[in-house]
Structure 1
Amino acid sequence: MNIRGKLIIIGGAVDKGSFTETDLDKNAVKNLNFFEAGILKRIIDESKHKEESRIEIITTASKIPREIGPEYVKALNYLGAKNVDVLHIEKREQAMDPEVLERLKTADVVMFTGGDQLRLTSILGGTPFHDIILDKYKKEDFIYAGTSAGAAAASNNMIYQGSSSEALLKGEVKITSGLGLIDGVIIDTHFVQRGRIGRLFQTVVGNPKVLGIGLGEDTGLLITNNQMEAIGSGLVILVDGREIKDTNLTQIELGQPISINHLVTHVMSKFDTFNLDTFKMHIQSSQYV
């Protein structure tokens, strides 16, 4: 199916976790230097009406939405966006409100903030709000953008919990259903800084058809149909399990270490691309060109 919309997923930047928000309420404005000008400007540039696009900030994942929302508005206004507002949806009933749904229908971009992705999916999942987002993404020149929790929740399946230090112990990584904008991938955020590669390894070895995507901070992917482009200043790690030769996954008890033989990884940086149909990566500044 040809998807008309675009997906922009961002790894986040501050120590607020993709399922916890420690210290976010302290110096919230300072912590929001993850409004990286490069990525936010790219969102505006990719949108249907550029600076005139209607952008709605969705703060559902955050525990302090009233502080976070206005900071996004300020950041986007600073970059030239003229039509930005905040939709505070904190209960499922609000995701069924006719006024809220009308605002969503007129939006060109929705920007999901960080926080707790399980909060995001449990409040929005299966509501008319969720249905409209999926429909607009499939049929319109529309952008779903999400940072941290907003990125992790974009795929069909999402990681919602799992210790970085014990991620390669069987059963330590918890997975549930996401918002379902993209299939065949699973996304983790704050990836490089928090050493979360083990979380993706365990996820991929359990179903090698799924491509693991690890987003570093101040880093994202622009996904248009099946083409992914790295944006921002950091690294995107891809974990491809299709060529796994062996594992002990089904032979060990819960809590025991997992072995994996021949797991393929790719590292992307700004302007590199990866095709989800062919699984081929193109390095923009290759030393061999």
Structure 2
Amino acid sequence: MNIRGKLIIIGGAVDKGSFTETNLDANVANNLNFFETGILKRILNESKNKIDSRIEVITTASKIPREIGPEYVKAFNYLGAKNVDVLHIEKREQATSQEVLDRVKAADVLIFTGGDQLRLTSILGGTEFHDLILDKYHNEDFIYAGTSAGAAAASNTMIYQGSSSEALLKGEVKITSGLGLIDGVIIDTHFVQRGRIGRLFQAVVGNPKVLGIGLGEDTGLLITNNEKMEAIGSGLVILVDGREIKDTNLTQVEMGQPISINHLVTHVMSKYDTFDLKTHKMNIQSSQYADELKMLSDD
């Protein structure tokens, strides 16, 4: 299936990515680290009408939506975007209102903020809003962008709870259905700062066909046609591929007991690296073997 939309999933921002300081211009070099190292700027560049694109910031996942929304508007405005607004959806009935649906229909970009991904799926899942974004993603030049919770909820399978320190104890990681824009992957965020690799290991060992994606802070993936993934931003993306697992004790141990896994394959991506979801092949943009590979291709 040819998917016209683009998916941009972001691991979350560290504190220096905040626009909450009152003296924005004086602190812009620090404040724009998250935004100008490629994430929000890339969203604008990839969008249908660039700085004229209609952008709606969806704050449903956040418990402080009135604070988070304006922060994104400031960031986009600083980067030249001219048509940005915040769409607060805090109850399921709001997700079926004609005003909300009309705004979503007109949007070129929806960006889903951080917070609690279970709020996203429980409030938006199965509504006309949900159906509309899936339709736009499949059939229009449209971008779904999500940071933190907004990223975790993008896939069909979603991690919604699990201790980082005890993630490799059986049963510690809780999984449910996400918004379903992309299948065959499971996404975890704030990956490096919060040490969540164990959560992804457990998610993958339980279903090795699913590719685990761990997004670091200030880091994202641009996914086109649900096939090609390109790393964007300043940090790391960890991929966990369980297809070659040789053995595990997952089904033998009791709940709460440690899990063993033999031969779990991982990849580490940084800016501009790409990964093909069909072939599971990774390309390192600045490979130390680039000259040799070029010679082979020329031959």
TM-score for the superposition, normalised by structure 2: 0.91
Cα separation, 2, equivalents of 1:3 and 1:91 = 29
Cα separation, 1, equivalents of 2:14 and 2:218 = 9
Cα separation, 2, equivalents of 1:270 and 1:28 = 24
Q: CA deviation at 1:32?
A: 7.6
Cα separation, 2, equivalents of 1:79 and 1:284 = 26
Q: CA deviation at 1:14?
A: 3.6
Q: CA deviation at 1:36?
A: 2.0
Aligned residue for 1:287? 288
Map 1:1-289 to 2 at 5 A.
1-14=1-14, 29-30=20-21, 35-37=34-36, 38-225=38-225, 226-289=227-290
Contact 1:14 1:34 in 2 (8 A): no
Give the secondary-structure state (helix, strand or coil) at the position aligned to 1:237: strand
The code of the aligned residue for 1:222 comes to L
The code of the aligned residue for 1:217 comes to E
Give the secondary-structure state (helix, strand or coil) at the position aligned to 1:29: coil
Contact 1:35 1:72 in 2 (8 A): no
Q: CA deviation at 1:13?
A: 1.9
Aligned residue for 2:295? none
Q: CA deviation at 1:35?
A: 4.7
Q: CA deviation at 1:33?
A: 6.1
Q: Percent identity?
A: 86
Structure 1 residues 219 and 131: alpha-carbon distance in aligned structure 2, compared to 1, 3 A threshold: same
Name structure 2 gaps, 5 residues minimum.
Answer: 22-29, 291-299
The code of the aligned residue for 1:171 comes to G
The code of the aligned residue for 2:265 comes to V
Q: CA deviation at 1:270?
A: 0.1
Aligned residue for 2:294? none
The code of the aligned residue for 2:126 comes to G
Give the secondary-structure state (helix, strand or coil) at the position aligned to 2:266: strand
Contact 2:164 2:196 in 1 (8 A): yes
TM-score for the superposition, normalised by structure 1: 0.94
Cα separation, 1, equivalents of 2:207 and 2:61 = 27
Give the secondary-structure state (helix, strand or coil) at the position aligned to 2:20: helix
Cα separation, 2, equivalents of 1:134 and 1:254 = 36
**Residues 153-181 of structure 1: CA deviation (Å, up to 9, x unaligned):** 00001000000000000000000110000
Cα separation, 2, equivalents of 1:163 and 1:32 = 30
Cα separation, 2, equivalents of 1:3 and 1:28 = 34
**Residues 211-235 of structure 1: CA deviation (Å, up to 9, x unaligned):** 0000000000000010000000000
Cα separation, 1, equivalents of 2:19 and 2:221 = 25
**Residues 67-106 of structure 1: CA deviation (Å, up to 9, x unaligned):** 1111101100100110100100000011000011000001
Structure 1 residues 34 and 151: alpha-carbon distance in aligned structure 2, compared to 1, 3 A threshold: farther
Cα separation, 2, equivalents of 1:86 and 1:176 = 27
The code of the aligned residue for 2:20 comes to V
Contact 1:154 1:181 in 2 (8 A): yes
Name structure 1 gaps, 5 residues minimum.
Answer: 16-26
